[in-house]
Chain A
Amino acid sequence: MNDKAPLLQLSGVVKEYPASPQPLRVLRGIDFTLNAGECAAIWGPSGCGKSTLLNVMGTLDAPEAGTARIRGTDTSDMDTAELARVRNQELGFVFQLHHLLPQCTAIENVVIPAMVHEKRDTAQERALALLERVGLGERAHHRPGALSGGERQRVAVARALINEPAVLLADEPTGALNEEAATELADLLAEVQRERAMAIVIVTHARELAERFAPIYALHGGRLERQD
């Protein structure tokens, strides 16, 4: 890893999905760079490939062509364990659906990424602090089933932050929330980004949310275009 290299860099990324009679090309040569502490919002209509792009950034998917680099290292050169380490240490995910483990309490869900971390001894305290930070200190021991949609998403944010990642990747984080909860979550994400000087990439179809994390990149026809 090269600390002087951009945190996240995509060059000519192409991504296809199998289909008949020919594969469906979703991304058609994406170039994108994100440095430490920067924000970026990927904006576009449903089905344009935003989540696919985020998955490539987050190493959950591999491109058919082009390169995805994290701190200068090509992700295609990483093995499974290295990719897992990168996701665990460098990246934090917030999905449209919270994807909390239903059998675990809020604090346990937050701790889960830290279970593979050498700092796991202090994970419980850090998780509680994070839950308090996202306003759920009193709900720490509640299971997801007992939380509202907004609360679940805030737990997901806390989970994404537990290992102090360099970049937070949020995929339609407010997509399943009502307007009030969506605003609260957007505020929360903006605050933690500022507090931690953390890079953040938000994928959304909502223009208002995208504008809070400018610059905005519009994804259209498989190509990314910065809108200043």
Chain B
Amino acid sequence: MTLLKLLTQGIRYHKRLYLGLLAGTIIACATVTGALAVGDSVQQTLRWIAEARLGGVGHALDWGHRYFDVALMTAVTAELETTEDTPAAVFAVRGMAEPARDHTGAGRRLNRAHVYGVDSAFWALAPEPDDGASPKPQEAFVNEAAARTLGVAVGDDIRLRLMRPAPMPAEAPLAQGGDDTAVARLRVARVLSEAQWGRFSMVTDQAMPANIFVDRHWLARLLDMSDKANMLLAPKTLDGAQLHAALRRAWQPAHVGYRFREHAAGVTQLESDRLFIEDVVVAAAQDMGEARPLLKYLVNSIAAHGKSTPYSFVTAGAGPADMPPDAVAVNEWLANALDIATGDTLTITWNEPLPSGEFQERSTQAPVHAVLSMDALQLEQDLALSFPGLSDVDTCRDWDIGLPLDEEKLQDEANEAYWNEYRQTPKLIADFETGRDWWGTRFGTVMAIRFEDTGKEDATSLMREHLDPAAIGLAFQPARENALRAVEQAMDFGPLFMGMSMFLIAAALTVLALLYAHGLQMRAGEMGTLLAVGWTPRRVRAWLALESLPVIIAGVTAGVPGGVGYARLLLYGLTRFWPDAVAGTPIRFYVAATTLVQAAVIAALCVFITILVCAIRAGRRPARELLQRDFTSGMAVGAGGGWPGRILCMVMMLVVGFAVVQAVFVSRDNPAPWFFVSGAAALTMLCAAYATVLGGIIRRETTVAPPRLWRLVLTQLARRRSRSVGIAIVTGCGLFMVVSVFAMQAAMTFDPQDPASGTGGFSVFATTQSGVRGDETAPLGLSWDDMVAMRVWDGDDAGCLNLNRARQPRLYGVAPERLIARNAFARENEAASLWELLSLSLDDDVIPALVGDTDTALWGLQATTDPERGDQFEYIGDTGEVFQVRTVGRLPMRLSVFQGALLISEAHFTRMFPYEAGYRAFLVDAATPDETAAQLNEEHGRRGMEATTSEARLRAFYAVERAYLTLFLVLGGIGMMLGAGGAAVIVLRNMAERRAECALLIALGYPPHVVRRMALAENALLVVAGILFGIGAAALAVIPLMLQAHAAANLTALAIICCAVIAAYLATVLIATRLYLNTMPLAALRTE
């Protein structure tokens, strides 16, 4: 006789017990495996998507709105000394597309088209490079998403409307205004699949972009940006250090829009295609040697002695060396025109740009320090900067610059004569620091830098030496590494589905524990015998545990493949029924071997611990009780008169009180979780009270014994207290969960007119691809009073529609004062304290931000929101400057129209993103939201308008949560079915155990129907207790939510669900009881 033999014989003999254990283990293991496999599948799908969108790209240089010369790519390639793995230059631009009018698909429109100008080097980096064919001029390769949206196929024509990239910030003073779009007609030459790199994107998002690929040279010419690009893609075979070194060696100032102009006077001037010179470049220039920064401006007027001259060029930084601060020098022409001399005081008036894009007139007075002859200013005339729309026109009346100009004043004859003779020669010169204070803007403060006695060649090499191109954002970023990191940090669906399957797992384990504990009671004699013959209690426990081990191993072995099937079923459900839960991404099945092992270990541990707890509980009884199979004496004296239960009741009562206070007074914006906590605590309290009461019945049983049937029923419930409480817990939890989740779904309502809701009280939310300027009088045909306009930086979506972890969330630039005035997105009188957070002054120039809503903060970003301890996100501004954004707060509602984004003040936005011209997002007040949205879409299609009602936008976000809750409900429903089945099995076993007892009552003369009624009453009470507890706890969690959400009408549906659950449980248990009693003859007694 060996231990092994003892164990195998035990399993064989008690096969019914172990079949239950096996079934429970299979279910638990399959559920855990399935949940983790879904997590693996989502993550692997994201990894596949990241691979598909990046192809063979390892590093990428993305210069955003700034464009470099393609010669940079050639130079970098030469430095890399490789002919095979060469970088590819890409011209990326936003655009809109629509089928050509003569096509049957007319009426469709693609508002967010990603247009890429590429060549054959780009296609060499594709995931599966083929013939390397690239679109020819007037041809387009579109990906499947774009083709589907446009309804086009190979051979069809499309019309492309592109945002014309501005070399200089479009809203900057002295920058050219005018038409900013270009239109072209193209023929679709290919529709690209994912493998053909149709998914190419540099944005961390699993959503399929709508891509249109065209010939790079053709696109650059179309947009007047010949030989330019804004993206360099490097193959993954090249490492970052190698690329950085090559870029450092290869770059020339001319590649990135800097040029040096030499003047015969021994002066070399540095200028930029982008109008302003970045601060880091100014600092580098000052390291190079003697450097004088200059700033040019066009002032509205210069006046003195009652005379004035309109629209005059002024310069800061080119005055006489001895000129004191706050004084100015004027040229001879101006002195004569205004009749002024040294010592007189001038009044200078100019327009200052505001963050909104509007201008505010400012003026100052300054003494005249010197009058300069026109000859002395020859250098200024010779080295005048080139302003498109100004330098290249003949008359003042033709000026087209980014400043409001008065047509009447432009016709000033004297000024026209000056323009004809002296062009941009400044009429007034100020000290640089003084001029910077007056005319410096958020777009920059330096337009040129002059070097004395340094030639063009020397200046170029000095600049290459002193300026790291990375300082202006010209650097290769590890695109692949970042993408894979975003995948690694993505929301883990494994724990999420584990959470959703928790009730299923708990039900399996509870039923398993009840069955196993019941089985152990049947084996009490065995345990008692072993203890009596000298086995230690520990040895007996080990024997029981070891006996169950092979069954557990068999269970997980069968459970793992079962889990794979379960995962496939869940993925099918996600694709077919709940696509919102995964943002519509088709998830492909994948599971790692380690995950299977992990799931098997978790399930085995859960089951083993359950078994061990049962074995320890059973083995704690004295051998005498076990041998006699008398389990009531211990209960009668045990547990110190039920004190642990009473203490648990009291603690849970406190938790209920605390949670209700939290829900009602503290977390009023999102009270659902607290109500849920209060309900769960109430359920625990009721179950603990039930256990205590049953214990009390047993104690009283020893003294009071009136022979009544109802008392017999109660005594039976109390005698198997663990079983009674266990079934109550399974039933109660199931009902509580179903009712609570249903109520949470019902409570997902909001009043779109309420300013405190996620719509902010605005009825329409609109976005455009091209910006609307702040100086337009009736933007989008609406009044400024009817809308709040916002600026947009297209970062990562940090909301529920992006499964990856957002690294740089989308930014909205908002004007806090406009939202405060409307009391938007906050409860009454709380708007000011909320929106003023955006104006906080933080250390180290950190920009304060509000998270778009509570869910984004909690799940999308998992960010702390606090002025001191808030999380920080790193961004790169339009000039290459790296800056931090800190989440100082969040909009208080769970979901808002700003889901997945951060909000910063417009002032900060325009400072960091000067190239993001105009407003691109609008909150609109409209009496007829649907009509207004439709009208906006129809009338402003050319702007890439996407308008929808705020309610519809918000409902789309709610749909994601609803999908999760439905999934939770379905999995919980399966758990409830399992619980009902388990309860039926336990009832059957209970009846089998007590058949002699029932038969005896019949033998003693009890009418069979009385005995049957007694058994039915006992078993019905088993589940009725749980049902009452579940309903009671759920009512606590649900009714306040329903009332708050005005969702009382749904109480009918809720009642139906409750009745269905109750009926299912009662029917299962009662049918099992009835069937057993019907087949129980008096012979049962004879066999005893």
Q: Footprint of B on A, CB under 8 Å?
A: 17-21, 55, 58, 60-61, 80-81, 84-89, 91, 93, 95, 97, 99-104, 107-108, 111-113, 115-116, 123-124, 127, 159-160, 163
Contacts and interface: CB of A to CB of B under 8 A. Distances in A.
A103 B532 contact: no
A48 to B, nearest CB: 17
A84 B622 CA distance: 12
A103 B1 contact: no
Interface string B611-635: 0000000000011100100000100
24 contacts: A17-B633, A18-B636, A19-B702, A20-B702, A60-B531, A60-B532, A60-B622, A60-B627, A80-B537, A84-B534, A84-B537, A86-B534, A97-B525, A99-B528, A99-B529, A99-B532, A101-B526, A103-B14, A104-B9, A108-B6, A112-B530, A115-B3, A123-B1, A124-B1
Given A18-B637, A84-B539, 17 more contacts: A20-B703, A60-B532, A80-B537, A84-B535, A85-B534, A87-B531, A87-B533, A87-B534, A88-B534, A99-B525, A102-B526, A103-B10, A103-B12, A111-B1, A116-B539, A123-B1, A163-B534
Contacts of A81: 536
Interface string B1-40: 1010110011011100000000000000000000000000
Most B Cβ at <10 Å: residue of A86, A108, A115: A115
Contact of A93 (B9, B532, B700): B532
B476 to A, nearest CB: 70
Contact of B13 (A18, A97, A103): A103
A111 to B, nearest CB: 4
Contacts of B5: 108
A116 B529 contact: no
Contact of A88 (B529, B533, B538, B627): B533
Given A103-B10, A108-B6, A111-B1, A18 B633 contact: yes
B995 interface: no
Contacts of A85: 534
B13 A102 contact: yes
B699 interface: yes
Interface of B: 1, 3, 5-6, 9-10, 12-14, 525-526, 528-539, 622-624, 627, 633, 636-637, 699-700, 702-703
A91 B531 CA distance: 12
Most B Cβ at <10 Å: residue of A21, A60, A86: A60
Contacts of B699: 20
Contact of A108 (B9, B528, B534, B627): B9
Contacts of B3: 115
Contacts of A18: 633, 636-637, 702
B370 to A, nearest CB: 107
Contacts of B536: 80-81, 84, 116
Contacts of B14: 103
A115 B12 CA distance: 20
Contact of A103 (B9, B535, B700, B703): B9
A19 B3 CA distance: 41
Given A111-B1, A163-B534, A61 B526 contact: no
Contacts of B700: 20
A104 B534 contact: no
Contacts of A80: 536-538
Contacts, number: 91
Contacts of B534: 84-89, 91, 113, 116, 163
Q: Is the interface of B mostly helix, strand, loop or mixed?
A: helix
Contacts of A127: 1
A95 B3 CA distance: 24
A79 to B, nearest CB: 10
A104 B6 contact: yes
Contacts of B13: 102-103
Contacts of B529: 99-101
B1088 to A, nearest CB: 13
A99 B9 contact: no
Contacts of A104: 1, 6, 9
Most B Cβ at <10 Å: residue of A80, A85, A103, A159: A103
B526 to A, nearest CB: 5
A31 B12 CA distance: 47
Nearest to B543: A115
Contacts of B531: 60, 84, 87
Contacts of B637: 18
B624 A60 contact: yes
A113 B533 contact: yes
Nearest to A110: B1
Contacts of A87: 531-534
B10 to A, nearest CB: 5
B533 A95 contact: no
Most A Cβ at <10 Å: residue of B12, B13, B537, B623: B623
A181 to B, nearest CB: 20
Contacts of B525: 97, 99
A79 B854 CA distance: 59
A61 B1 contact: no
Nearest to A112: B533
Most A Cβ at <10 Å: residue of B13, B699, B703: B13
Contacts of B636: 18
Contacts of A89: 534
Contacts of A103: 9-10, 12-14
A99 B524 CA distance: 10
Nearest to A93: B532
Nearest to B8: A103
Most A Cβ at <10 Å: residue of B525, B622, B699: B525
B976 to A, nearest CB: 35
Contact of B703 (A21, A60, A101, A112): A21
B529 to A, nearest CB: 4
A85 B5 CA distance: 23
B893 to A, nearest CB: 59
A60 B535 contact: no
A61 B622 contact: yes
A112 B9 contact: no
Nearest to B528: A99
B441 to A, nearest CB: 86
Nearest 7 pairs between A and B by C-beta?
A88-B534, A103-B13, A113-B533, A111-B1, A20-B703, A18-B637, A84-B536
A13 to B, nearest CB: 15
Given A103-B14, A124-B1, A58 B532 contact: yes
Nearest to A96: B627
Most B Cβ at <10 Å: residue of A88, A101, A108, A111: A101
Nearest to B525: A99
Nearest to A84: B536
B6 to A, nearest CB: 7
B627 A61 contact: no
Contacts of B539: 84, 116
Contacts of B623: 60
Nearest to A54: B624
Most A Cβ at <10 Å: residue of B9, B13, B529: B529
B364 to A, nearest CB: 96
A223 B731 CA distance: 52
Contacts of B532: 58, 60, 87, 93, 95, 99
Contacts of A123: 1
A173 B529 CA distance: 15
Contacts of A17: 633
A140 to B, nearest CB: 11
Contact of B624 (A55, A91, A124): A55
B653 to A, nearest CB: 29
A118 B535 CA distance: 13
A116 B9 CA distance: 18
Nearest to B11: A103
Contacts of A116: 534-536, 539
Most A Cβ at <10 Å: residue of B1, B5, B627: B1
A207 B689 CA distance: 51
Nearest to A61: B624
A103 B544 CA distance: 14
